[in-house]
Structure 1
Amino acid sequence: MKSEILDHANLMQASEFIAEMNALPECHIGYLGTSQNDIYQSLEEMNRDAESAAFIVREGDALAGFLGADADLNKGTAELWGPFVQENEFMRLLWEKALHYFEGKLHTYFLFADASNRTAAEFASENGFMLQSAHTYMELKDNSSNSLRKVSLLPIHFHSEFIHLHDALFPQTYFSGKEIIERMNDDHKVYTCLDADGLNGYLYAEYNREEKEGSIEFFGVDPNKRKKGIGRNLLEMAIHDLFANSGAKSIKLCAGTANGKALSIYKKAGFKVERSLNFYKLDIRE
């Protein structure tokens, strides 16, 4: 048994190893896909990235363990791709190699694993990772109808009001209100509910033309306007537009597992639970 840094010559073997394991809920890591081609492309990108690195364990010629660190040295953070191991003892070996490799360069590590992944949960517990949140991933298959439905998109004169509402509802998230407006185009849309009082709610969705897949990224209603069906109407509007007008074959979303109200709305709209994942964080400065 020996450990080494993943190089280009091992990418195909590693992608096969990961694809086989990541298709199983009990081994799944959320930062990677499940198709071998997608995983190979991700590994290629990591291999070209001078900041990131991946580590493998071999038993003879066979791959027996993998751990990647998709690093951002400027921020001092990394997302962990793995651990994927055939034996739990390999986790310690891979983690020690990663910590030594990035010593002094990284201070925070993130792990995103299926709730059924006991190996990842054990790894997190043993190494001081703290559970931050739980997420439920859902999907809706094409159920488009030919019925006409009015689609209301964010007007330019409501941009500042949108920024204020979004940043109040989702502070310190991955896209600020200003960043969403900068992303807006034919495939990145902000659906709105407006009346004489102004902006009551919105839904931001993106469409991937190549994959024919929509994704609901943010969905918010003014706290003073809730329980009036605004959320349901926004969701129905976005679903109709993505299926009937954009040509999506499916729509995906992620919601907090603890947010029972949101999950209920999505389920009533036809979304099915695909996967539940736990998000862990380790800050070695603490």
Structure 2
Amino acid sequence: MLEIRVIDKEDVGKVSNFIARLNSSEESHIGYCGKDKEEIAKYMINDISDIKYTDSFVVAYEDNKLVGVLGFDADLEESSVEIWGPFIVPNNWDVVFDMWKKMTDLLPSEIESLEMFPNLKNIQVCQLAKNLSFKKHSDETILIFQRKNGHELKSVSIEELTPEYYLDMMQLHDKAFPGAYYSGQQIIKRLDEHKRVFIITNNGNFCGYIYVEAEPEFGEANIEFFAVEKSDRGTGIGGQLLTGALKWLFTFEDIESVRLCVNSTNGSAITLYKKVGFQHLYDLCAFTKNLEKSC
């Protein structure tokens, strides 16, 4: 007997383990959803905040066995959601449209757009996105730097962002990444002991920045954004920012790897990352869909 319903608190353990298992295979992988069951559970409980997970995730059970999970992480300020899944065991894929209907019924009225980030090898979800009239926005390449290669990093000099350079950093970020999931102002508000912006200046002139997030509890970290002023490109500043950020991230003894995401067509950036020591991990497809609002 098949049951599709909204998740409840008692499901979290099973759901996080289920997502971690399926997300470990590229053929069922969704970007940014994680592969560690404890990290996934913590994120669902603590970080999905605008719409709590008990109002944004649905599960499918067949004969009391979990066979599917689908949900969304809402950003009400941006009127958008990031889709988690669908994660469905192969033999039960036919439940996907019923799950999709159940999930979209939970969407708040103010949501205007949906985003999906399936792995390029996740053929079923890529095809689902097309069937649901999503538009492919871009291909994204995920790169990784392992702690074991940290000894290869050169010594560089970078400095932490200070208030006198807030405006420079915000202007460069918003120009380089218009419409990104964090604006320059939002990044500055996020800064804490695990989230830092580092910069390089030359005779008081702002040259570039890098924003990183460390997650020592889960042994990983991400380079979220970095950019160099147009007049300073080609001078090695990008490599210095990356190297300095990596060195800081690896001061956390529990961090084993650092990841970053770059548009697959940005060959010059990928070349720079690989020159510093990053290695290719996998590729994602970025899909978006604008919702039609009834009058």
* TM-score (norm: length of structure 1): 0.85
- Alignment of 1:27 with 2:28, yes or no, is yes
- Maintained 8 Å contact 2:44/2:53: no
Q: Where does 1:40-79 land on structure 2 (aligned, <5 Å)?
A: 40-44=41-45, 49=52, 52-72=55-75, 76-79=79-82
Please tell me the residue identity of whatever aligns with 1:34: K
Change (3 A) 1:117 1:192: same
In 2, Cα distance between the equivalents of 1:285 and 1:169? Answer: 29
Please tell me the residue identity of whatever aligns with 1:41: K
Partner of 2:173: 166
Offset, 1:105? 5.8
Change (3 A) 1:129 1:168: same
- Alignment of 1:82 with 2:89, yes or no, is no
Partner of 2:120: 115
Partner of 1:206: 213
* Other structure's SS at 1:194 match: strand
Comparing 260-269 with 85-94, greater Cα deviation is found at: 85-94
Q: Where does 1:152-231 land on structure 2 (aligned, <5 Å)?
A: 152-196=159-203, 198-231=205-238
Change (3 A) 1:167 1:9: closer
Aligned alpha-carbon RMSD (Å): 2.9
The CA deviation string for residues 31-53 of structure 1, in whole angstroms up to 9 with x for no partner, is 42112223333454569927732
Partner of 2:292: 285
* Other structure's SS at 1:275 match: strand
- Maintained 8 Å contact 1:51/1:73: no
- Alignment of 1:242 with 2:243, yes or no, is no
In 2, Cα distance between the equivalents of 1:73 and 1:159? Answer: 25
The CA deviation string for residues 12-70 of structure 1, in whole angstroms up to 9 with x for no partner, is 33333323211111101124211222333345456992773222223222222221233
Change (3 A) 1:155 1:118: same
In 1, Cα distance between the equivalents of 2:169 and 2:108? Answer: 42
* Other structure's SS at 1:171 match: coil
In 1, Cα distance between the equivalents of 2:44 and 2:56? Answer: 9
In 2, Cα distance between the equivalents of 1:197 and 1:105? Answer: 44
- Maintained 8 Å contact 1:164/1:177: yes
- Maintained 8 Å contact 1:51/1:72: no
- Maintained 8 Å contact 1:52/1:72: no
In 2, Cα distance between the equivalents of 1:72 and 1:193? Answer: 32
In 2, Cα distance between the equivalents of 1:178 and 1:72? Answer: 16
In 1, Cα distance between the equivalents of 2:116 and 2:271? Answer: 27
- Alignment of 1:260 with 2:267, yes or no, is yes
**Of 122, 130, 134, the match for 1:129:** 134
Offset, 1:100? 3.4
- Maintained 8 Å contact 2:140/2:264: yes
In 2, Cα distance between the equivalents of 1:216 and 1:204? Answer: 6
Q: For structure 1, which runs of at least 5 residues remain unmatched after alignment?
A: none
Offset, 1:189? 3.0
- Maintained 8 Å contact 1:52/1:71: no
Q: For structure 2, which runs of at least 5 residues remain unmatched after alignment?
A: none
- Maintained 8 Å contact 2:134/2:287: yes
Offset, 1:251? 1.9
Comparing 148-157 with 92-101, greater Cα deviation is found at: 148-157
In 2, Cα distance between the equivalents of 1:251 and 1:95? Answer: 33
* Other structure's SS at 1:84 match: strand
Partner of 2:283: 276
In 2, Cα distance between the equivalents of 1:177 and 1:138? Answer: 23
Please tell me the residue identity of whatever aligns with 2:16: S
Please tell me the residue identity of whatever aligns with 1:95: W
Offset, 1:186? 4.7
* Other structure's SS at 2:117 match: strand
In 2, Cα distance between the equivalents of 1:32 and 1:92? Answer: 21
Query: How many pairs are equivalent?
Result: 285
Identity %: 28
